[in-house]
Chains A and B, each alone.
Chain A
């Protein structure tokens, strides 16, 4: 074998390895989707969405979990969005660049990597016990807000960074204050990136189970929550609950609920991609 042949061989070997690596991920996902679809698709019906949980699998539905998920998502967004954007603006526009801002930056990035159960323990201690908010939607949402804040903060900063500094200068040169410049130029120009970050953060929160179990989301909620102080359950916990039951019927229910949860996540991620593309097309510096 001469030198050229070795080169070609190496080239092809590398290509095949890359294809196999990609396929493994895709095949696993496809197997999962097909299995779940075969198990659960036939269980999806109008009743499945409107029925309360039940001891009999064929009568049980996801109404309380779905409503609980919606409550938790909306409340989490209410807390995490303003605080996350505010902190992102502070770090990017106001904080002096120095050891302090680097210190904050490193810590925020680290927070994004802390296991979610740790946030659950924090929420249990602060919100449930110290602030006496109980095992409520409020406690759960505040905990999830903490969990996704780093993502919102980092994406806000990144989005603001992409706005060229000439925009900032042009605004200041017209006599605009810092607040006006941020509010009327920087945020609108960065809004696409910020929204993408928020949606991705929320779609992470929607799948979280561990911190909510710690905070005290219930396995079995026979009523629809009416306010943020009610106890609650969410889809992932409902799924976890059903999967751990011995009856085969509940396994089918779990598969159907997984399909619902997956559809919600895909819709949210899709919206994030569309927003990002529209934003990139609209703004050409």
Chain B
């Protein structure tokens, strides 16, 4: 930890653009950009809440700069699956995981990787917009502040950059210091996306990010997901089949704790191999 902290403070003055922060992340986690590789690889993963076996023997590999949709009926374990990657399940008492979860070829449960460092690399957008009861500016700056960045100029630039990336800048640039809770639901959710990308993660987890929003906000967020793909690897849980079909490259269908099928989105929606998948996407159950 002290090493990482030192590097980042020493390097702080150099962090002027998104690229160099990414470079630090890559250096920390040993990513070699010259060699293409899987962003996420998980093998033989089982999860339990107490005695309840919530995910069974999951195996999956995700390419960088892709959108993966996780679909399935409620209670099938897809949200639990999503929250493996930033170890958010650790907060739940009685949660247990077995198996191997690798991000950039590094075991995320290894002792060398602190959970705070992992979460810096793996951002998350929640189902219900949950901005902090602070100003718009402070919402986006929070991630930088907790990660030890104090330079005001860097913070201001990063806040602006992140709000532009999340397509919110035009709407809020004149009221950056107003309370974020005054924004509409759709704006709040885009603020949460800006907040997540401000610390330059390489993966973004989205847990039904549009389920609480109106159709216009919904389509804005979907466009945003498409743009964000250029820089980030995205995993998105959704109950909306059209959304999965529109935004994702690959789709994973979960049913009662099993990963039933994982394939190109086109294949899943036009020519699924499993009968359960077929029944689910055509709305016969779920």
| Interface, chain A (partner B; CB < 8 A) | 96-97, 164, 166-177, 180, 184-185, 189, 282-285
Contact = CB atoms under 8 A, between A and B. Distances in A.
B166 interface: no
Contact of B120 (A96, A171, A175): A175
Contact of B88 (A169, A177, A185, A189): A169
A172 B93 contact: no
Contacts of A169: 88, 91, 126, 130
A97 B130 CA distance: 26
B86 A173 contact: yes
A172 B91 contact: yes
B185 to A, nearest CB: 13
A283 B146 contact: no
Main secondary structure of the interface of A (DSSP, over half): helix
Interface of B: 86, 88, 91, 93, 116-117, 119-120, 123-124, 126, 128, 130-133, 142-143, 145-147, 181, 192, 195-196, 199
A174 B126 contact: no
12 contacts: A164-B130, A169-B88, A171-B132, A173-B88, A173-B124, A174-B120, A174-B146, A174-B199, A175-B116, A175-B199, A184-B142, A283-B181
Contact of B119 (A97, A175, A184, A283): A175
Given A166-B126, A166-B128, A167-B132, 11 more contacts: A164-B130, A168-B91, A170-B132, A170-B195, A171-B132, A173-B123, A174-B195, A175-B116, A175-B117, A176-B116, A283-B133
Contacts of B133: 189, 282-283, 285
A175 B91 contact: no
Contacts of B195: 170, 174
A97 B146 CA distance: 27
Contacts of B124: 173
B126 A180 contact: no
B116 A177 contact: yes
A189 B142 CA distance: 15
A185 B142 CA distance: 10
B88 A171 contact: no
A73 B34 CA distance: 67
Given A175-B116, A175-B117, A175-B119, A184 B146 contact: yes
Interface centre among A169, A171, A172, A174 (most CB of B within 10 A): A174
B246 to A, nearest CB: 25
A169 B127 CA distance: 12
Given A173-B196, A174-B146, A175-B146, A185 B119 contact: no
A175 B126 contact: no
A206 B167 CA distance: 55
Contacts of A167: 130, 132
A284 B120 CA distance: 28
